[in-house]
Amino acid sequence: MFADTTTRVPRHTPDDLNERIREKTRLNLIRWGTTDENIEDRMKALNREWDIERVLEANASSLVVIGTLLGAFLNPWLHLIPFLVGGFLLQHAVQGWCPPVRLFRRLGFRTHAEIASEYYALRLLRKDFDPGAGMRRDDPASRAGEALRLAWWD
């Protein structure tokens, strides 16, 4: 009944969207994983990136506040908005899915684990761990693919 935290959103996302997100991550590694300075800049950007949970929370809380105010000042039937939004948020917490998830995934929002995968792949490219572990290839695309394979949370 309760979905696990790490893979619940990708499991409820169509395979083509999951693949598009993974490919974009691989392309980010090719683009940003070339120098330590680029890697540092990208890691700072990743620390600021909103994951899908944060987007859902911000969206839901905004709709709850707006629905409550509209219900209080315009029409009590508008209190249905916070009720529905609360139900969607509960459904997401339990199952890892709710109607807005597909839209946000289509817009490119990633899970925390997907963002962390790119972050740790960058650390592998920068050789923060065992120098050269898995990074024996010379071209950026091969190195990025290998780093992503080693860091991806499946």
Examine the pLDDT at 129 and tell me if it is beyond 80: no
pLDDT (0 to 100) of residue 64: 96
Is 78 found in the same domain as 44?
A: no
Question: What is the structure's pLDDT at 137?
Answer: 59
Structural domain count, the chain: 2
Angle between helices 112-125 and 140-151 (to 10 degrees): 130
102 and 27 assigned to the same domain: no
The mean per-residue pLDDT over the stretch 138-145 comes to 80
- pLDDT above 90: residue 49: yes
User: For the segment 64-119, what is each residue's pLDDT rounded down to a tens digit?
Assistant: 999 999 999 999 999 999 999 999 999 998 888 899 999 999 999 999 999 999 99
The token pair that represents 143 in the structure block? 């190195």
Whether 105 and 116 map to the same domain: the answer is: no
Are 37 and 5 members of one domain? yes
pLDDT(136) > 70: no
Q: Are residues 54 and 20 located together in one domain of the fold?
A: no
Q: Is the pLDDT of residue 132 over 80?
A: no
Q: Are residues 64 and 24 in the same domain?
A: no
- Residue 142: pLDDT band with limits 50, 70, 90: confident
Is the Cα torsion angle 7, 84, 54, 93 positive or negative in sign? negative
Residues 41 and 72 occupy one common structural domain: no
The last residue of one of the domains, among 109, 125, 141, is 109
Ranking 26-40, 45-59, 120-134 by mean pLDDT, the lowest is: 120-134
**How many other C-beta atoms can be found within 10 angstroms of the C-beta atom of residue 22?**
17
State which residues form the domain around 85: 50-109
SS3 assignment for the chain: CCCCCCCHHHHCCCHHHHHHHHHHHHHHHHHHCCCHHHHHHHHHHHHHCCCHHHHHHHHHHHHHHHHHHHHHHCCHHHHHHHHHHHHHHHHHHHHCCCHHHHHHHHCCCCCHHHHHHHHHHHHHHCCCCCCCCCCCCCCHHHHHHHHHHHHCCC
- Same domain for 137 and 147, yes or no, is yes
> Cα separation of 140 and 118, whole Å?
15
Q: What is the pLDDT of residue 151?
A: 82
